Structure 1
């Protein structure tokens, strides 16, 4: 498990370093996750067993990772109470846009793959 944890934290560290060095407007863990994805694709799309054990353990306790976010929401409850209309509109509009783009993409991909099957 130590090797898997080292891989995860190493990718996050490299992502943080890249963000700081290049001044990217993206969080370091996101860059680290993309780096990890690239490494997994380069190594044959197979997740090493050490990494799989760590990831399974983290996913098994995923609900605990939402506790800090819930505490942050309660700390800023006054702000949420003042801005609830804007938050609700933002959530509805972003959900609608996401669903529309996903539907458009799925229909486009379905047409593309059905055309390839006919050949």
Structure 2
């Protein structure tokens, strides 16, 4: 079971990695068999399912995202934690609210992501 402190630490490290634009630091948070579902992935990958499967595909998607959004920056608003999941609630570089529900495996790596946006 995750603790509140573990959830906050994961969120802080995740935000810092994204804000540094360090792809390896970002990917370090994810499991090899990760599944991500996002409307941004649907748009950038021209795939209506918005689904990215596996860390290699995630690397390609995130790399493209960092290229398309060179001013990408996240501001953490709140962190919500569950038994094996965390919600990162943040503002992106365009001040659009976002929430990512992430499930973590037994090693603390993110294994599933459901991304949501307001706007």
- Shorter-normalised TM-score: what interval? under 0.3
* TM-score, normalisation: structure 2: 0.23
* TM-score, normalisation: structure 1: 0.23
Work out which of the two has the higher radius of gyration on C-alpha atoms and give 1 or 2. 1
Greater strand share, 1 or 2?
2
